[in-house]
Structures are given as C-alpha cells and as structure tokens.
Amino acid sequence: MAISRRLRNVFRRSRVSEEVEAELASHLELRMEDNLARGMSAEEARRDALLRFGNRTVTRERVVGEDVALAVGSLWWDLRYALSQLKRNPGFAWTAVSVLALGIGASVALFAFVDAALIRPLPYAKPAQLADVTENLPLFPRANLSLPDYLDWKQRNTVFRSLEVYRGEGFLLSTGSGTEPVHGADVSAGFFRTLGVEPMLGSDFRADADQPQAPRTVLLSYGAWQRHFGGQRDLIGRSIVLDGEPVTVIGVLPQPFHFALRGNAEFWRPLQVLANGPHCYTDRASHCLYGVGRLKEGVSIEQARSEMKAIAANLAVEYPESNRGQGASVLPLSEAIVGKVRPILLTLLGGAALLLVIACVNVSSLLLVRTETRQREIALRSALGASRGRLVRQIVTEAVLLVALSGVFGLAAADAAMHGLLTLVSRDMLTSMPYLQGLGLHPHVLLFAGAVCTASAVLFSAAPSVRLMKSGDLRAGLADGGKGDSGVFWRRFGSNLVAVELTIAMVLLVGAGLLGKSFYRLLHVELGFPPDHLATFDLSLPEKEYATEDRQRVAAREILRRLSALPGVKEVGTATDLAVSGNGDTRWIRFVGRPYSGEHNEVLEREVSAGYLPALGATLRRGRFFSEDDDNTKPKVVMINESFARKYFPGEDPVGKRFGDYQLTPSSIRTVVGVIRDLREGGLDEPIWPAMYVVFSQDPETSMEVLARTRGDAASLLPAMVAAVHGFDPDVATSNTTTMEGRIADSPAAYLHRSSAWLIGGFASLALLLSVIGLYGVISYSVGRRTREIGVRMALGADRGSVARMILKEAGRMIAAGLAAGLVCSFGAALLLRNLLFGTPAWDAPTLALVALALGAAALTASYLPARSAASVNPVEALRAE
Amino acid sequence: MAKNDLQGALDLLVLKTLAQTGEMHGYGIAVHIQQASGELLRVEEGSLYPALHRMEQSGWVRSSWALTATKRKAKYYRLTAAGRGQMEAAERNFEQLVEGVRAILQYA
C-alpha cells in the first residue's frame, strides 16, 4: 500500500516535514559531536556541519517532495512515455484506436437501446407490480376484454389491488380552422392511480368519472398540451371540443409519462358507458378493452394468472354462448410492452458485442506484435534497472491511454450512431416505442462504456505483460533482439487469435445472411395484389354531422366520386382496414342450416366499398365482385377469401351459401356472392386468416381508409386527393397519407426485419474486414520473421512455388480452424436467432455454404499477398540482411 | 537515465550499508560509506535523506527513533525483506553494468 501511504503523506505534509526537520537536526548534532571529538572549536564544528549539509530547507523540501514525485511524477512520466510511444508509431496508434473505437461505439450505442427499452424502469410507481391483463384465445394470445367480462374479473379476483381497462380511440379535435384527427384513449377512472402517475398540472379523474352521468372530462399528455395549446397553464378547467362534444380539460400528464401499449394517445377520456358506446360495453361477446392491474403486495404474476384463468373458466361455464374458449392472460406490463423487441435488441447487442470482441482481438494482436518488436527496448530498460513491475506498469499505462482515447472516440461514435438509428425508425414505430425517447448517454450507458473500457484495458495490459513474463532472460533479449523464441510464441498465439476472429466473423456473417434472407422473403411474400401505384390515406367523418347511416353512405359515395374524377386516378375504394394492416377486427360467425354447438368461428371482417377489391387488384376466384347495386335496399351480401372457403366450405361451392353472427340475428345474415384469392390482410409475417368482406353501403361507418390506384406516381397524387376530400367538407379529417408501398416498408414487421438485417449485416462486414486484416497481419508478420529461413530454403533449392505453398499452408490451417469452429458456433447462433427468422430455416445450408465460401475466399486472398511476397524473397539479400 | 544510474548506485550503497550494520541512522550511513570506501566515495548529505525517505516509502527500509551511544535522539533505519531483495537485484544489475562498461573499455 505504498501508493496510499505516499498520497496520505502528501496530505499530511506538515507532520512529515516536522519529522524530517527533527531528523536533519539530529544529523547536524551528530556531525558536530564528531567534529568536536576531532578537536574543532564549537563554532568551527557547527560551521563545518552546516557547510557539508548544504541548504537545510531545500533538503527538507526535497525529502518531502519525494512523496509527490513518487505518487504523481512517475505516473506522469509513464504517461508521457506512453504518449511518445504512440506518436512514434502513428499508423499503429490510429489503427488500434479506430478499430477499438468502432467496437466500443457499436456496443455502447446498442446497449443504450437495450437500456432505454429493457433496463430502465417504466415511468410508473413500482412498475414490477403492474400486470397486463387480457383475455386469451388460441389465435390471439392477448385478446381484448368485453366490459361485462372485465366487471366480473374485477369483482371476483383477490389478487389485484386495482384492475383498470383502457381502449384506444381516435378523436376529431376541433381547432380554429377545422378539425384534426388526434389519438387518444378511453380509460376507467382509476387508470392513472393504478399506474401511480399523477398529473403535473390539475387533477386526476374523480373515482366516479366513468359513470354515465358524470361530467365529461379529459386529461392531456404533455406533448398534446404543448403542441395543440401552447402549454397554456390556464387551459385547466377550460372546455375543448372532441368529436363535436365539449369536454373539460382537468389536467396535464407529466412529461416523462408514456403508455407504450397505446403509444400515440394524447387525449385521455374516462371510459363512460353511454348508450351510443361500442358494443363491447354491453355485449359480453364483443371485445374491445385491455386491462392493466396492480398486484397486491406479495402476489406473483403466476398466482394472478392462475386465479384469472380460473375466473375465466367459471365465466365460460356460466356464459357458454359468449365465453366458451375465452381464457385469461396475465403478463408483467413490461413484458407486454417490450416483449416483442427484446429478442431483436438482444440479438443486435450480441452482434455488437461480437464485433467488439473482434476489435479487441485485433488490437491485442497489434499490441503483441509491438511487444515483440520492442523486446530489445524492454531488455535495455530492464538492464538499466527497471524492475519487471515497473515495465508492466509502463505497459498498463500504454494500454489505458490507448483505451481512453478509443473510449472518447467510441462514445462520440455511439452518440452519433444512436441518433442515426433513431432517424431510421419510422414515426409509427416510434410512437409504439415511446421509451426510446429517453435514449442517450445516461449513467447506465456510461457505466457500461466504462466496464467495456476497463475490460479491454485489462486485456490489453494482460496480453503483453504475460508475454513479457514469459520471455527468457534479459540478456537473451538484448543479444537476440527478440528474434528467438518470440517468433514461435507469436506464430502460435497469433494464429489462435486469427482463428477466433474468423470464427466470430463467420457467426456474424451467417447471422447477417439468415436475417437478410428473411428480410428478402418477407418483402417478397405473396400479397395477393400488386402493391405499386396505390395511394392511401385514412379518413374520418365527424360523428355529429354524419350520425345516420344514410348520411355516411351519401358522404362516402360523393367523396369517392370526386376522387375518381381526379386526373391520374384509375380506381378508388375504401375499407375499414386496408390490406397488410394487421390481423384484427374479427367476428364470430354461424352458418344457416348447419348444426351449431357454440364453437367460435372467428374470421376477419372488412367493410369495403364496391370498388375497393377491384381497385386493389384482388383476383376473383368464383362468383362476382360487389356492385353499386348492392345497397341497403337489397339483401345483404358478402365476399369471402379462399382460406375461408377452404375452412368452412371444403369441397362445396360457397357462392349462394348464407351465414350470420353467432346468434344468427336476422339482420346479420348474408349471402356469399363471390370468392377472392387470399389477400394479405395481416402483417407481412402473419398467417393468412379466413376473411369476409361486407359492402360499405350495407354497413356504413364514419371512419375508413381510402385507396386509389393511380396511373403515374402514387405519392404525387396524394395532395390533390386530400384537397378533393376537403373540397367536399373541410371538417372531414384525413391523416396518414402515404402509398401502399410506403405502408408496407414502414410496417413493424418490415421495419424490424430490415433494421436487424442491416445492422447485423453492417457488423458482419466490419467483422469480415477486421478478421481479414488480422489474418493478413499475422501472415505478413510471420513472413517478415522468417525471411532468413526462407532465404536459406531458397538457397538450398526450394522454388518460389513451394515457398508460397508453405506460407499458404500455414494460413490454410488457421482458416480451416476458424471456419470449422465458425460453422459449429453458427449453428448455435442460428438456433438462438430462429424466432427472428421468416421463411428461412435456422439450418439454412445455402447460407452456411455461401458464407463459408466467401469468408474462405477472402481469407485466402488476404494470405496470398504475403505468400507472394515471401516467394519473391531474394535469398542473397535475405541472408545478408541478417 | 544517468539520474537513474546514480540514484540506483546511492540506493545500493545505502542498502548494502544497512545490510552490513544491521541498524543505522542517516549520519552513520554517510560516515560508513565514506569510511568503507576508503574515503573514495563521499555521500552528499543533502541527497541522502530524500533517498532514505523514498526507500522507506517504497518499503525497502523501516525506521524508528532511538538514542545514540551519546544519548542523542536519532532516526534509525533497518532493512526489510523487500529491501534485501531489492539490494540483491540492484547488485546484480550493477555488476552487469560494470561488466558491460568494462568490456567496452577493453575494446577502446
């Protein structure tokens, strides 16, 4: 603990200097005593003693100064020496620093994403107690609740302190100049109390705010308050108009609050059970709510799940018609929020970590090579009195300096990479991942960066230090200049490192290959329609003005007429959900004239205008498309997809068959008029479900999505289309104007696959580059070391071909070892990846073979260059040079 | 480097003195070196104490206050095990250096 004692001394200077003073005084006295004994006079004795001693104060200061010098001075000298070493070899310094900064930057940036999404707690009180509570069906693991089910769940359970529900809503906000569609949610009164969130301004909903007679109130998100109302504090208590109805703003939610399961919600209303509310508020069989509960102290998720499952099973017995097969799902809220992105983020972090390992291996081998070439310097310093400890300290200082430089550049790169990656995320994706707003170099991230840097500094100190310890006696080092055993050591150790690099590069390349192939498969999945030249946007009619079905019908017909009159528009149509928007909006159906035992025949339902399916380019298999004649004066008709026909009409012609809702309500019974080839209604990676299409004029709605097939570029027609809608009625809200291709490219499935394929692909290319450079370095170094040997061989008659073969054989061993290990590890990695793959098996032989071939070819090329230079060695010069 | 060498030499002399005398104060060490070298080496007293202090901080020597034969208080130094190891290493190094320098002188 010499260092700590020295540092302590530095701070206890006065005490130390007193003691030194006493010691010096005793020295003078002893000298004077001797002088007197030799016969000097007292005065002479004193003068002589002082003269010999010199300046006492200076001496004292020098003694005390030793502490500071020892503690700080030597460190400073080490640092200056290290810096000059780096400066003397800028090629080495820049290579090492940039390679390492790259590795640190990539891993820190991805760790920041992992931190923001998976590590940092959700912005609620005790988030671990919160649970996502929903029903559960074989097709939908997280299926919505109906209000009657929720009320029973709430009343019967003993595991939740509170259980609340919410449902996403879109509102039309009246602004000075018209209306604007905004996102929001209806929540039960205790929703925010359950989350443990208090408004930063105003107050929370009253406990009875969700009762039908309660005054209509709304809470705003911080963003909505800033964006729509300029952050006015006196907004509280004032009235705003949502969907044509005045509601009172009672509070503003705190800025950090977000609720990712309804990520874009800005207007939060109490869920009031009013007469014109959704069916699910009264009908046990229609589902539109999600639950969130706070567990009682000491109750686990598993306990809660088993109790809710039991309650659901009881309800299924009590209400078999509506609740048969309805289970319960209880998940930690964090799982419901980030469960989907977790495997992707962890995979990406894993990829970045592998890149970091390669970077570290590369830099270690650079450092080892340098240690080899510095053998003579080290031997000299050691001969001049530097202890091994001292030499090791010098090595450590150099490693720390190197890592510190790389760390600074790495953090800067990470910061840039984070922002770059965020801009790649589509806005829709960002709203479903509000936790990414908090992305940045936060304490966790800095801690991680510190840990990475420390680990690499330890590695970079340890590798050359071990090498130093293992090197033979110093005189051998001096005499030989480090050309004896070191070459052998390096060749063995270095080739192991290169094999490790190639292994990692292979794993990353295989991962990138598999993800890339998945992405390709995903983009080329059968859609059932041509996605080009399709302009789309969302449209909603103000509910007050268009309250009746007749008005909705007339409005839709007029809007479609105006749109189809636009030059450049070939065909137009509307649908409640456009193709590729997601499996959802299902109905239970029952067939006329068939025995029914209460099973739930779940199919997708889409209300489409007569022109929608032809405009989309759907292929008719049987019967006919809808026509303008299929209106409310005619018997109800329906079209189905082939999956529907296969499942419910196997071996029969479905045209002319009839079905209705599960109660066979007379008004719900429809006749099948046509069958189309399957359209991909769900996301690109979702399976095709049975789907039914009903015609808009027989079942109108106020909100719909518009689609137009265009002659020229679809995107350039969008402004004219929106203008045409507003020409009809400026209060009709339009949003989400984009093309079908844009929708597909921005869909979560495409985004997730694309980002993971690109990122892992990027890591893999860097890994390939680094490992090939590493291989090249090791082989060239080995060739350089063996120049004399090669010269002797050639002098003894070896031809150039056999010399090149010898070097290539050495490289070939490393490459083979790396590829073999890489193949084994790739199997493991692919197995971990298999949930992220789409249409690609984890054991995809073509990918493996292609990667092995490409990597092998690149590695052989890298070793061919030094082999060629070995073959061109001039034996005479080689022997003379030594 | 020259500084290191001279410092190393002083350290070696001090350590050797302590090894031979067992326990000694700074003044005694200076006198011993001068006498044992047949008056060839004279320790600059101003350099001795910083060296002693540094060696103490490095754990090579330990010190304690005691009375001299003439009943004066003085700080006595004694070699530690680490100091003995350091002395042996320094001795070897020094011999190598001498050997090397001598070899070069012979050529010249």
Q: Is B44 on the interface with A (CB under 8 A)?
A: yes
Judge: A29–B50 Cβ closer than 8 Å, yes or no: no
Whether A33 and A155 map to the same domain: the answer is no
In a domain, A836, yes or no: yes
CA distance A881 to A878: 5
Taking CB atoms and an 8 Å cutoff, what residues of chain B touch A65?
50
Q: Which residues pair with B79 in a beta bridge?
A: B61
Q: Please tell me the predicted confidence (pLDDT) of residue A817.
A: 92
Place of tokens 């620093």: A97
In a domain, A88, yes or no: no
Q: Please tell me the predicted confidence (pLDDT) of residue B1.
A: 31
Judge: A29–B72 Cβ closer than 8 Å, yes or no: yes
* Count of beta carbons in the 10 Å neighbourhood of residue A815: 23
Taking CB atoms and an 8 Å cutoff, what residues of chain A touch B8?
385
CA distance B92 to B89: 5
Taking CB atoms and an 8 Å cutoff, what residues of chain B touch A74?
none
Residue A204 is given by DSSP the state P
CA distance B106 to chain A (A): 19
Q: Please tell me the predicted confidence (pLDDT) of residue A487.
A: 56
Give the domain extent around A53: 2-74
Distance set, CA A162 to CA A97, A185, A191, A195, A276 (Å): 55, 19, 9, 10, 27
CA distance A292 to A196: 12
Return the structure tokens found at A639: 């079209």
Q: What is the mean pLDDT of residues A769-790?
A: 81
Long-range contacts of B27-33 (CB under 8 A, 24+ apart): B27/A26, B27/A27, B27/A30, B27/A31, B27/B74, B28/A30, B28/B74, B29/B77, B31/A34
Taking CB atoms and an 8 Å cutoff, what residues of chain A touch B44?
54
State chain A's mean pLDDT as an integer: 86
Q: Is B103 on the interface with A (CB under 8 A)?
A: no
Q: Can you give the pTM of this predicted structure?
A: 0.73
Q: Please tell me the predicted confidence (pLDDT) of residue B2.
A: 33
| Tens-digit pLDDT profile for residues A370-410 | 777 777 777 777 766 666 777 788 888 889 999 999 999 99
Whether A395 and A515 map to the same domain: the answer is yes
Judge: A23–B49 Cβ closer than 8 Å, yes or no: yes
Judge: A52–B45 Cβ closer than 8 Å, yes or no: yes
CA distance A238 to A202: 11
Interface residues of chain A, partner chain B, Cβ below 8 Å: 2, 5-6, 9, 19-20, 22-24, 26-27, 29-31, 33-34, 52-55, 58-59, 62-67, 70, 383-385, 387, 475
Strands (E), A594-681: 601-608, 620-623, 637-641, 658-661, 670-676
Q: Which positions 14-33 of B are in contact with A (Cβ < 8 Å)? A: 25-28, 31
CA distance B47 to chain A (A): 7
| Tens-digit pLDDT profile for residues A701-714 | 888 999 999 999 99
Confidence of residue A694 (pLDDT cuts 50, 70, 90): very high
Q: Is B12 on the interface with A (CB under 8 A)?
A: no
Asked whether the beta carbons of A243 and A277 are under 8 A apart, the reply is no
In a domain, A738, yes or no: no
Q: Is B6 on the interface with A (CB under 8 A)?
A: no
Whether A371 and A520 map to the same domain: the answer is yes
Asked whether the beta carbons of A669 and A657 are under 8 A apart, the reply is no
Query: Count H helices, E strands: chain B?
Result: 4, 3
Helix (H) or strand (E) holding A389: helix A388-424
Taking CB atoms and an 8 Å cutoff, what residues of chain B touch A2?
57-59
CA distance A267 to A250: 11
- Give how many domains chain A has, as a whole number: 4
Whether A679 and A581 map to the same domain: the answer is yes
Between strands A670-676 and A637-641, the pairing is parallel
Whether A757 and A724 map to the same domain: the answer is no
3-state helix, strand, coil in chain B (%, to 5): 65, 15, 20
Choose from A32, A52, A63, A388 for mutation: most chain B CBs within 10 A: A63
Task: Give Cα B48 to chain centroid, integer Å.
Answer: 9
Q: Where are the domains of chain B?
A: 2-107
| Tens-digit pLDDT profile for residues A311-337 | 999 999 999 888 888 899 999 999 998
CA distance A576 to A705: 6
For A66, which of B28, B54, B72 is closest by C-beta distance? B54
In a domain, A108, yes or no: no
Name the more confident of B14 and A782. Answer: B14
In a domain, A742, yes or no: no
Whether A353 and A264 map to the same domain: the answer is no
List Cβ neighbours of A661 (8 Å cut-off, separation of 6 or more): A587, A588, A589, A590, A668
CA distance A874 to A787: 9
CA distance A512 to A532: 28
Whether A854 and A780 map to the same domain: the answer is yes
Q: Please tell me the predicted confidence (pLDDT) of residue A698.
A: 92
User: According to the 3-state scheme, what is the secondary structure of A77-141?
Assistant: HHHHHHHHHHHHCHHHHHHHHHHHHHHHHHHHHHHHHHHHHHHCCCCCCCHHHEEEEEEECCCCC
Q: Please tell me the predicted confidence (pLDDT) of residue A1.
A: 42
Torsion angles phi and psi, residue A148, rounded to 5: -60, -40
Judge: B46–A54 Cβ closer than 8 Å, yes or no: yes
Whether A656 and A579 map to the same domain: the answer is yes
Asked whether the beta carbons of A112 and A255 are under 8 A apart, the reply is no
Whether A413 and A351 map to the same domain: the answer is yes
In a domain, A98, yes or no: no
Asked whether residue A552 carries a pLDDT value surpassing 50, the answer given is yes
pLDDT 10s digit of each residue in chain B, 108 long? 333 455 568 888 899 999 988 889 988 898 888 888 888 887 877 788 888 888 888 888 998 888 888 888 888 999 988 888 888 888 888 888 888 888 888 875
For B93, which of A20, A66, A385 is closest by C-beta distance? A385
In a domain, A331, yes or no: no
In a domain, A120, yes or no: no
Asked whether residue A282 carries a pLDDT value surpassing 70, the answer given is yes
| Tens-digit pLDDT profile for residues A467-523 | 776 655 555 555 554 444 555 666 677 778 888 889 999 999 999 999 999 999 998
Choose from A36, A64, A377, A384 for mutation: most chain B CBs within 10 A: A384
ipTM: 0.83
Place of tokens 């709304």: A218
Q: Is B64 on the interface with A (CB under 8 A)?
A: no
Terminus-to-terminus CA distance in chain A, angstroms?
47
Q: Please tell me the predicted confidence (pLDDT) of residue A781.
A: 77
- The CATH class of the B2-107 domain is mainly alpha
Considering only A257-261, A490-494, A585-589, A810-814, which range has the smallest mean pLDDT?
A490-494
Indicate the residue type of A217. Answer: T
